[in-house]
């Protein structure tokens, strides 16, 4: 389920959809929670808004019980499948859509993108104008970020480490990729980026930007990692009085309340959390 913005494009950042497992219950279901303020601000046109819904149909066997889910592919089978898809992409074999992103052009297969992303599914197979277009321009995404997202959709993994064993993607690369994955509803990629940011890139120097990202994109694990890092008194002494931290607390009052409740006033400089100075 995804809301459409006023221009008729998917707005995955407005609200959060969640699904019930239809294999455990025939009824299954899906819900989308969004604030009235966001819906009115971004989606309402002439007193109405539009929501796109996709439906997965589960076949049943005797006794009206859902059939069991197919066995997951083994790692080597996934590797072979990803290699085959990537070969088709590299050779432009049967590609049927092109994306113009930040001055670069990317060809792809509609079915592959639709299988990974409900947003692409709505754009490429729904009633929107993009479904009839063979060339689509994407704004607000870097070409390198879109390339990595395509790589994940075809390989099921991010680009490999270089010859020195170093990760080819920086912290900023993972942040941009997480935002793109969230925008297009590629939840597994978003989770992969979130784990990578938690494990390898959240430090005293980056915790403020990570906390801002976690709040903006509803990344609970990344937010918890930031809180755990700030809970150490010495870390908070270094971060809690920086202009970046103070600006974040002042610009997002709800986050300031979460920090206050999380630490129960038992850390250094509680006045900074409760009463960040004005930037005037």
Indicate the domain borders of the chain: 1-58+67-71, 86-190, 202-280
Name the superfamily (CATH) of residues 86-190.
Potassium Channel Kv1.1; Chain A (3.30.710.10)
Give pLDDT, residue 128.
Answer: 74
For every residue of 40-103, DSSP letters joined together read HHHT-BTTB--EE---PPPPB-GGGPBPPPPPPPPHHHHHHHHHHHHHHHHTTTT--EEEEETT
Q: Angle at CA 17, nearest 5°, toward 61 and 199?
A: 105
Residues 6+ apart with CB under 8 A from 239: 204, 207, 208, 230, 245
Give pLDDT, residue 27.
Answer: 57
Residues 6+ apart with CB under 8 A from 52: 1, 2, 3, 4, 10, 122, 126
Neighbours of 101 (CB within 10 A): 21
SS3 percent helix, strand, coil of the chain, rounded to 5, is 50, 10, 40
Give pLDDT, residue 51.
Answer: 83
Per-residue pLDDT in tens (0 to 9) along the chain, 280 residues: 788 887 777 777 788 777 655 544 445 667 788 899 989 988 898 888 888 776 666 555 555 555 544 555 555 555 555 566 777 777 777 888 999 999 999 999 998 999 999 999 988 988 877 777 889 999 999 999 999 999 999 988 888 755 455 668 999 999 999 999 999 999 999 999 999 999 999 999 999 999 999 999 999 999 999 999 998 878 988 998 999 999 999 999 889 888 888 776 444 444 444 444 444 4
CB 158 within 8 Å of CB 169: yes
Residues 6+ apart with CB under 8 A from 226: 202, 207, 210, 211, 214
- DSSP-derived letter for residue 202 is -
Give pLDDT, residue 55.
Answer: 65
pTM of the model as a whole: 0.66
Tokens of 84: 């085959």
């Amino acid at each position: 389920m995804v809301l459409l913005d006023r221009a008729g494009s998917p707005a995955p950042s407005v609200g959060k959809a969640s699904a019930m497992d239809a294999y455990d219950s025939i009824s299954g279901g899906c819900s989308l929670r969004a604030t009235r303020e966001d819906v009115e601000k971004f989606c309402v046109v002439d007193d109405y808004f539009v929501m796109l819904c996709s439906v997965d149909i589960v076949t049943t066997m005797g006794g009206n019980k859902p059939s069991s889910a197919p066995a997951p592919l083994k790692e080597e089978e996934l590797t072979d499948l990803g290699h085959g898809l990537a070969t088709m992409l590299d050779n432009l074999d049967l590609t049927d859509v092109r994306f113009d992103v930040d001055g670069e052009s990317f060809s792809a297969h509609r079915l592959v993108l639709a299988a990974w992303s409900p947003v692409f599914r709505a754009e490429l197979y729904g009633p929107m104008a993009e479904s009839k277009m063979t060339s689509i321009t994407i704004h607000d995404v870097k070409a390198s970020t879109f390339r990595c997202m395509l790589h994940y959709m075809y390989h099921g993994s991010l680009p490999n480490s270089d010859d020195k064993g170093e990760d080819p993607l920086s912290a900023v690369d993972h942040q941009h990729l997480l935002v793109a994955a969230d925008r297009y509803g590629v939840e597994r990629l978003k989770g992969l980026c979130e784990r990578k940011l938690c494990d390898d890139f959240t430090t005293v120097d980056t915790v403020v930007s990570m906390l801002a990202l976690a709040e903006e994109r509803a990344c609970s694990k990344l937010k918890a990692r930031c809180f755990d890092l700030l809970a150490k008194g010495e870390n908070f002494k270094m971060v809690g009085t920086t202009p970046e931290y103070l600006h974040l607390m002042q610009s997002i009052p709800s986050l300031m309340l979460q920090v206050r409740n999380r630490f129960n006033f038992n850390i250094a400089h509680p006045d900074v959390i409760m009463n960040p100075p004005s930037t005037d």
